[in-house]
Amino acid sequence: MVLHLADYEKVYIKSNQNFETVFCFYAFIICRRSEKFMFTS
């Protein structure tokens, strides 16, 4: 299957946005966990 460059760029941008959203979500959870850990310790 051959993709046009524009279609490939759209898919690439969409996947990057999803990755950034997931990354920020996990970073937020890790920060919250580290805060709780600091408060409990």
Distances, alpha carbon 39 to alpha carbons 3, 14, 26, 31, 35, in Å: 51, 38, 20, 12, 6
With a pLDDT cut of 70, the percent of the chain lying above it is 76
* Whether pLDDT at 40 is above 70: no
36: pLDDT strictly greater than 60: yes
What is the count of structural domains for the chain? 1
Specify if 13 maps to a domain: yes
User: What is the pLDDT confidence band of residue 39, given thresholds at 50, 70 and 90?
Assistant: low
Residue 40 in domain: no
This prediction has a pTM of 0.44
> What are the residues whose beta carbons fall under 8 Å from the beta carbon of 16, sequence distance 6 or more?
none
**Domain range spanning residue 1?**
1-35
Asked if pLDDT for residue 2 goes beyond 70, the answer is no
